[in-house]
Amino acid sequence: MKIPASLKSMRPVEIVLFVAFMIYIVFPIGTPETLAPYVDSALGMVLLFAVTVAMFVYTNPLLGVLFIFVAYEVLRRSSGSAGNSRAIIMKYTPTQVAKDEDLRKMNPVVEKTVEEEVIEVRAPIGKSEPTEYIVTSFKPVAEKLEGASVV
């Protein structure tokens, strides 16, 4: 069996890490309940990012790429813990239909005010006779305008 050159250049510690990472990714190993809240916090995410950068700098880049997947799995598996506030927020977030119904209850249909009723009765907007054009012999005189746009 031919071993790739990138695996031949790995030190024994890196090979052990590679195998451990592969086992963690392949098998459904959960994050311990005591560590899950710490991993899923902002500090835990910063720590995972720092370890990822350190893996790229100090070890084989293959381990760095593999650790990105491990970090994703750690975050995903620790976010399902019972004490996680994000899961609770997601569980009780209302749907768009429920939000629309609440808004309809808060904003009832607006009835017409007295002013609008009076204007509707008194103003002739939209109720007048159509405009009739009369043909006359009058021709307006205007000089030629340079650079003006047609209206």
Query: Residue 133 above 80 pLDDT?
Result: yes
pLDDT for the residue 49: 94
Range 30-42 average pLDDT: 84
Q: What percent of the chain has a predicted confidence (pLDDT) above 90?
A: 29
Q: Which carries the bigger pLDDT value, residue 151 or residue 27?
A: 27
The structural domains of the chain, with segments of one domain joined by +, span 33-105
pLDDT for the residue 71: 92
Which pLDDT band, with edges at 50, 70 and 90, does 119 fall under? confident
Query: Residue 84 above 70 pLDDT?
Result: no
Long-range (24+ apart) CB contacts under 8 A made by 112-121 are none
Query: Residue 85 above 60 pLDDT?
Result: no
Amino acid at 113: T
Q: Any idea what the Cα angle at residue 97 is, between residues 109 and 112, rounded to 5°?
A: 5
Cβ(59)–Cβ(14) below 8 Å: yes
Cα first-last separation, the chain: 83
Query: Residue 128 above 80 pLDDT?
Result: no
Q: Is the dihedral of CA 39, 42, 47, 53 positive or negative?
A: positive
Q: Is the dihedral of CA 46, 48, 54, 57 positive or negative?
A: negative
Quote the CA–CA distance of 80 and 77 in Å, as a whole number: 6
Q: What percent of the chain has a predicted confidence (pLDDT) above 70?
A: 85
